[in-house]
């Protein structure tokens, strides 16, 4: 099974439990041929859930630290993380009408993509109930939207010892580096520019006033 930098999940360690049970009942293992069949589709599916779980753990950690600087939301909008309904481990981050959706889009494919928020897409329990629409939906509604980059795919590969690892553009990647990169990009993409400009202008006004008091000009 797949292992990642923060260690395997409980699901990824299921093989050791099966091995111990076979040790207790070796005749049953021979009779049922347990542990002898290798199902690549199953191990990839389990690895996808494991990788998504580790990713979400990193995102939760980063969001907790980032939100702690928001002073109760007075300075900037906090990051929210939601589960996706009817999926094993898919999730999304949300801030300022922008979503980062992280999903097991297809067998052996984990997709990360930025999308615009649609009214009514969130349920009261914090789970996404309807599919997340891309920027084409803005054309239907007549609401202008900023351009978002296309989703990126992480692809699963099975190694020589039946281990699963994840790649991007042919390069092996770790969950932590993906989480760091996308969390940083998400924060920059969801920054409230109007609020930032107002804060910068207030700072400039303060500096200008201070310089004028000292007989200088900005």
| Domain residue ranges in the chain | 11-192
The helix/strand/coil state of 29 is helix
- pLDDT of residue 157 exceeding 90, the answer is yes
* Distance between CA atoms of residues 122 and 132, nearest Å: 10
pLDDT of residue 108: 97
pLDDT of residue 134: 38
Give me the phi and psi of 18, to 5 degrees please.
-65, -40
Tens of pLDDT, residue by residue over 24-82, are 877 766 665 555 567 889 999 999 999 999 999 999 999 999 999 887 667 889 999 99
| Reported confidence tier of residue 91, pLDDT bands at 50, 70, 90 | very high
Answer whether 0.85 is exceeded by the pTM: no
pLDDT of residue 203: 60
- pLDDT of residue 119 exceeding 90, the answer is no
- pLDDT of residue 137 exceeding 80, the answer is no
Tens of pLDDT, residue by residue over 179-203, are 999 999 999 999 875 554 555 555 6
What's the chain's length in residues?
218
């Amino acid at each position: 099974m797949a292992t990642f930098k923060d260690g395997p999940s409980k699901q990824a360690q299921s093989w050791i439990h099966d091995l111990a049970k076979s040790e207790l009942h070796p005749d049953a293992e021979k009779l049922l041929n347990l542990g002898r069949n290798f199902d690549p589709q199953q191990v990839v599916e389990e690895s996808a859930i494991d990788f998504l779980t580790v990713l979400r753990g990193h995102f939760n950690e980063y969001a907790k630290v980032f939100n702690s600087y928001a002073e109760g939301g007075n300075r900037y909008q906090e990051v929210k993380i939601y589960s996706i309904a009817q999926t094993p481990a898919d999730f999304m981050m949300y801030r300022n009408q922008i979503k980062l959706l992280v999903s097991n889009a297809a067998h052996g494919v984990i997709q990360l993509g930025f999308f615009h928020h649609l009214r009514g897409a969130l349920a009261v329990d914090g789970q996404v109930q309807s599919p997340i629409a891309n920027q084409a939906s803005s054309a239907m509604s007549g609401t202008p939207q900023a351009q978002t980059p296309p989703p990126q795919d992480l692809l699963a590969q099975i190694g020589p010892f039946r281990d699963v690892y994840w790649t991007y553009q042919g390069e092996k990647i770790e969950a932590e580096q993906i989480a760091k990169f996308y969390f940083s990009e998400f924060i920059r993409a969801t920054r409230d520019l109007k609020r930032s400009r107002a804060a910068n202008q207030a700072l400039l006004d303060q500096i200008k006033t201070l310089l004028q008091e000292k007989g200088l000009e900005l």
